[in-house]
Structures are given as structure tokens and as C-alpha cells.
Amino acid sequence: DTGVSQNPRHKITKRGQNVTFRCDPISEHNRLYWYRQTLGQGPEFLTYFQNEAQLEKSRLLSDRFSAERPKGSFSTLEIQRTEQGDSAMYLCASSFGTGNWGEQFFGPGTRLTVL
Amino acid sequence: QQQVKQSPQSLIVQKGGISIINCAYENTAFDYFPWYQQFPGKGPALLIAIRPDVSEKKEGRFTISFNKSAKQFSLHIMDSQPGDSATYFCAASGGTDKLIFGTGTRLQVFP
């Protein structure tokens, strides 16, 4: 399967714990995005990488959230000291482009439940 | 100014009918308008997209109509099928290509 993959698919954690999600983009895609989707809402942009550089972060991304893409390939999203409000689907997308609006391909998401 | 407003929230259509979903935006810097389809438990999948230099784009049973002066665009699904039952999201981007999504429309197509 050459699509975007995300692991784990589901994560249940207790409030206050740290969690880390992984995203493997489509091979050779230079852009990688993280979005968060809550029930009944559209995805909300969190952050975006071009190669290994993190180019933009949303105000939604508090200091408890950190994302990395160390070698310009896979990316990790870590949430420290999780809160119940962090419960959501975390979606990763990738695209190839040097200008604007490369088509974004989404992974299946990681569903986080914070108890 | 970053919002994309989508309506209706839900839509029920009979098999063979036309499904129409509408979106409106305010930011004139937006220059890319995709529509995504999402099934339960899956990530969004791109259906069709348009740039503002054309007023209509058709791919199979899916058509985007774009009205630049009104800052509105819509998705038409012709000959709707039960397999089209899903949630549809419009989106927009400009400048940095991060997508701003609408709130979604849950489409149910009954046989």
C-alpha cells in the first residue's frame, strides 16, 4: 500500500499522560500536514512541514503539542500532559509540490481518547 | 475571514436524484477549492477540485460550480447512489496551501 499510513490507529490514554503518533507520507512527497478533527466537524489545520522544515503552526497547537519531521520523511506528533479536550481524530496528509495547492492525500487518522 | 461556511448540515436524497452542497468563503486570497469525501473511520479523500479561473469543472457524476463574484462554490452529485452516502467537506486554501475546511454535510442516499 503506497498511501499515507498512521500509527497507532487508536489510542486510549489517561489525562496527564504523554502520547506520540507517527505518520508515514507517500514516498517522495515533500510536504506533510497535521490536522485535528473532532466529531461532527471538518479537519482543522495544526501544522505543516516542507521537507524537514516546520513552516507553519496553528494557534490551536499549544505548547503541549510538538511535531517533528527529522529527515524529511516520517513525522511524529507528540502531545504532553494530555487533557480530555485533546480527544479527537488526528489526521496526517502529504502532498508533492513546490508552489501552492499540491493535492493533499490523507491517512486514515489516529483516534485519541483521553479518559 | 478564514472561515468556509457549508450548507446544508445534512441531506437526504433518493437514488438517482441530484445532491447539491453549497459553500461560501470570505478570503479573496483563496485560490484552490477542493471537495473531500469521508466515510466513517476513514480519512478524507479528494473528490474534485477547482481553481477560480474556471466557473465549472466536471468529473464523472461530480461537478463543481464556482461563482467568484459571489465567493461561493457548490458540489453537484448527479444520479446519486447509495454508495455516495458519506460526509462531504468543502475546503479552500491560498498562499500556504493549508486547507480550511467547512463543517461538513452528511449525505444519505436511499434506494
* Contacts with B102 from chain A: Cβ below 8 Å: 42
pLDDT of residue A98: 66
Residue A21: Cβ within 10 Å count:
21
Cβ contact B43–A108 (<8 Å): yes
- Nearest-angstrom CA–CA distance, B102 and B25: 9
- Kindly state the average pLDDT of the residues A72-99: 92
Residue A101, pLDDT above cutoff 80: no
* Contacts with A94 from chain B: Cβ below 8 Å: none
Residue A36: Cβ within 10 Å count:
21
Residue A100, pLDDT above cutoff 70: no
Cβ contact A103–B46 (<8 Å): yes
CATH architecture, domain defined by B4-110: Sandwich (2.60)
- The DSSP-derived string for B4-43 is EEEE-SEEEEETTS-EEEEEEE--TT--BEEEEEE-TTS-
The domain segmentation of chain B, as residue ranges, is: 4-110
Q: Which three cell numbers mark A115?
A: 479518559
